[in-house]
Amino acid sequence: MTDRNSRSAEVREKTTRRKPWQPPSSLDAPQPPPGYKYRWIRESVLGQDDKTNMSKRIREGFEPVRAEAHPEFQGPTIEDGKHAGVIGVGGLILAKIDESIVDERKEYFQDMTDASMQAVDSELMRESNPIMPIEQPNRQTRTEFGSRKDLSED
């Protein structure tokens, strides 16, 4: 006996494949508000406050994230001390920073890297031996799959 119901009458429920088990991450974090990024920063090492690191991060623009800001988040919170009520685990606390500061920081360090590479290149060219000349370094990265000839033959 065959089933005469049309396929359009059948309703398929969304089925998702079960994810394989893996140990939970100690550094799960809630979603940051728009315009911010979350980062874990070191607050202490082996139970000793890392005041130097915390001071530096605060001056860079990081702000500790309080647990009250994310009541839906079921993560570890510091119970006592100076950072009581802040989301934190194992000497790390969750901090937020404005995305514009993150972009400025990336640009600053990229400029530092570019300046260093330029200094290395100029030093290399300065010490070039005429007997064994060194060509100007070519630091382009480019990936090509197939050639134009291969693509036009289709």
Q: What is the pLDDT of residues 13-29, one digit of tens each?
A: 556 678 888 887 778 88
- Residue spans per domain, the chain: 36-98
Tally Cβ neighbours within 10 Å of residue 48: 8
**pLDDT tens, position by position, 33-73:** 899 999 999 988 887 888 899 899 999 999 999 888 888 88
Written as six digits, the tokens of 146 are 């197939």
The Cα 58–Cα 86 span in angstroms is 14
What digits encode the pLDDT tens for the residues 92-142? 999 999 999 999 999 999 999 999 988 887 777 776 666 666 666 666 666
**25: closest CA among 60, 76, 67?**
76
Token reading at 145: 């799959």
| Closest-CA residue to 26 (of 69, 88, 79, 86) | 88
CA Rg value for the chain: 27
Q: Residue 97's CB: how many other CB atoms inside 10 A? A: 19
Instruction: Decide the pairing of beta strands 48-49 and 44-45.
Output: antiparallel
Distance CA 73, CA 94 (A): 12
The candidate with the shortest Cα–Cα distance to 41, out of 80, 100, 76, 89, is: 89
pLDDT of the residue at 56? 92
